[in-house]
Amino acid sequence: MQIIQQVLFVVALGAIGYLLFKRGSFIWRNITLGKDVKLNPEEKSERLKTTMLIAFGQKKMFARPMVGFMHFMIYAGFLLINIEVLEIVLDGLLGTHRLFSSTLGEFYSFLINFFEVVALLVVISCVLFLVRRNILRIARFHKPEMKGWPTSDANIILIWEIALMFALYTMNATDSILQSRGIAHYPVVGPDGFAVSQFLIPIYNGLSDSALVALERSAWWVHIIGILSFAVYITYSKHLHIFLAFPNTYYSKLRPKGEMDNMDAVTKEVKIMLGEPVDESGEEEEVGTFGAKDVKDLSWVNIMNAYSCTECGRCTSECPANITGKKLSPRKIMMDTRDRAEEVGHNIDKHGADHEDGKSLYGDHITKEELMACTSCNACTQACPVNIDPLSIILEMRRYVAMEESGTPMEWNAMFQNIENNQAPWAFPPTDRFKWADDLKVKE
């Protein structure tokens, strides 16, 4: 029987591994559809510091302390309980039961009890998040872009986590009863039993030994297969940020937020026109499209940003355009970019890399009205807990509207012309710029 369980576990582990590899390869291919990004090698230490503070330390989450604390408990529980998952995986492969109990002694009892307390905090946090989303109905969770799957996804993941923790408690409670009855292969964990699951013992205490063994094994399977399946599920979910938050913050922009990236080829032409020296070394950049119409025109960091989006809506709740009733929602910009990357990826798999489906990110997913509503204030980027930069995507798409379509408002065109001719938004030459001060008199 034990051999059969080991074989089934190896098969399950292999199947989950295959699905993760296949989905991970698909996502990575989609991300790398974007253009390359040049990084300054001298920024490495600053990028590592940013990653530790923002991704690992959850710094931005605590801008809203209570929510930040609950999220941190779920995050900490995810990290810590993985230690227990390691033991379960080894037990499944080796056919052992609580492998670490024999080597860690009483410290093992402390660890299990600590994990149980953390798991309880996870359950409480998940319940509170469900209440906030479905009963208190926090406004940012019920914007138009959150209808349908995004709302269901958030609820599924919270309920799933509660179910996993309940399976853990059931496994430990039944295990504790089997230990007290001296059933073979169920070693005594410690003199004090389990910190939280001991309160479930009265529920299961009346079951026979065989029923308890079956329930304990079932809970063990539900817990580990649930966790492994969870790993696959989140690659289709907004919770992909569990994996991508770290590289996303590492590659986030360190320069002043909102600063547009110059196109090297255009910069070179401008310098030539102004008679400034230019660097002739290196390969010539071929100007294909000004700005971005589709995901392939964006950088791969932009696409990774889209896959990293937590859909928390902090960006949209801080956006002045959205607050005043405009259609722009920075969260929707990121969700649309991710959806289009998925669409392009599936097209490539079905029809090849050169297939054109006649659709694009701009126009079919994101409208000009949304792009023109952006004030470039950068509130969305500042609010994002994982340093996603919706503004850079908006600016690239607006660059396309301005330079490829000439589709910007007339007032903008007049300003562009003034900047080109007068190096300022105003319709007078630089020589007249300080005429306003000519009539000022210094008072004695």
pLDDT at residue number 444: 47
| Structural domain contains residue 38 | no
| Structural domain contains residue 39 | no
CA distance from start to end of the chain:
102
| Structural domain contains residue 255 | no
Domain identity same for 117 and 219: yes
CATH of the domain at 271: 1.10.1060
pLDDT at residue number 186: 65
Domain identity same for 239 and 358: no
Q: How far apart are CA 219 and CA 221, in angstroms?
A: 5
Question: Across the 444 residues of the chain, what is the mean pLDDT of every consecutive 10-residue run?
Answer: 85 95 97 91 93 90 86 79 83 87 81 88 93 93 94 94 93 89 68 80 92 93 92 94 94 80 76 76 64 95 96 95 96 97 96 91 96 94 94 94 90 86 83 77 53
Domain identity same for 145 and 237: yes
Domain identity same for 81 and 14: yes
Residue with tokens 């989140």: 234
| Structural domain contains residue 57 | no
| Structural domain contains residue 53 | no
Give ∠ CA 272-278-279 in degrees, rounded to 5.
Answer: 150
pLDDT at residue number 187: 62
Domain identity same for 115 and 207: yes
Domain identity same for 155 and 18: yes
Domain identity same for 216 and 275: no
Domain identity same for 303 and 355: yes
pLDDT at residue number 367: 96
Give the count of domains, the chain.
Answer: 2
Domain residues for 80?
Answer: 2-31+64-250
Domain identity same for 201 and 270: no
| Structural domain contains residue 439 | no
Domain identity same for 234 and 332: no
| Structural domain contains residue 146 | yes
pLDDT at residue number 281: 63
Domain identity same for 241 and 280: no
- Beta partners for residue 299, in sequence order: 35
**Residue 319 corresponds to which tokens in the numbers above?**
């956006």
pLDDT at residue number 286: 60
pLDDT at residue number 442: 56
| Structural domain contains residue 54 | no
Domain identity same for 185 and 229: yes
